[in-house]
Structure 1
Amino acid sequence: MKFSFAFAAALSLSLSAAAVAADAPLIKDRALVKTVDGRKVGFIDRVLKNAAGEPTGVQIIYSGRFVVIPATTLSAAEKGLVTSLTAKEVNKL
């Protein structure tokens, strides 16, 4: 009985992780990033990753300076990625 509960719990966690991974956008160098209000931010210069190798943010050259946009704000778009931030919010980063 304990074994089946542990197996079910492990299966549930692995399926949840797979679902999250499937929803994550493909973040790669040189991908175009736009804001939620449709403005071009630029191209990804560098993908920042945590110890597990998961993307935590992207570095972009925006208005002549490096800006880091959190990966949690990014989603897939028709051409590249879109951030949930507005152009005004990106200016403040």
Structure 2
Amino acid sequence: MKYIFALAAALSFSSLAVAQDAPVIKARTMVKTADGVRIGFIDRVYANAEGTATSVQIIYRGRFVSIPAATLSSGEKGLVTSLTADDLKKL
């Protein structure tokens, strides 16, 4: 019985740790590529029914581009996407 309790506690703590590592995604946040190239500021955040961000809209090179939220992580000053500049050109 104590093994089940220990497993349940471990799972709840790991879920809490993952939730704390999630980036804060909000409008007017700077987004850069992994190599430090500035993409732009978030114009709009799109979310699902639960309120979790699914994608963000950025004006990149004079056009609106939607970047999947799953590619974003916290950076030193803003957010960092795992997409490259070439990937952004294809969006």
Q: TM-score category by the smaller chain?
A: 0.7 to 0.9
Give the corresponding residue for 1:39. 37
Structure 1 gap segments, 5+ residues each = none
* SS across alignment from 1:27: coil
Q: What's the CA shift for 1:74?
A: 0.7
Query: Higher strand fraction: Structure 1 or Structure 2?
Result: 2
4+ residue runs over 2 A deviation: 7-17
Tell me how many residue pairs correspond in the alignment. 91
Give the corresponding residue for 1:26. 24
Specify whether residues 78 and 88 from structure 1 end up closer, same or farther in structure 2 by C-alpha distance, changes over 3 A only: same
Q: Report % sequence identity.
A: 64
Structure 2 gap segments, 5+ residues each = none
Q: What's the CA shift for 1:14?
A: 3.8
Root-mean-square deviation over aligned CA pairs: 1.9
TM-score by length of 1: 0.82
Q: What's the CA shift for 1:13?
A: 5.0
Q: What's the CA shift for 1:10?
A: 5.9
Q: What's the CA shift for 1:38?
A: 1.7
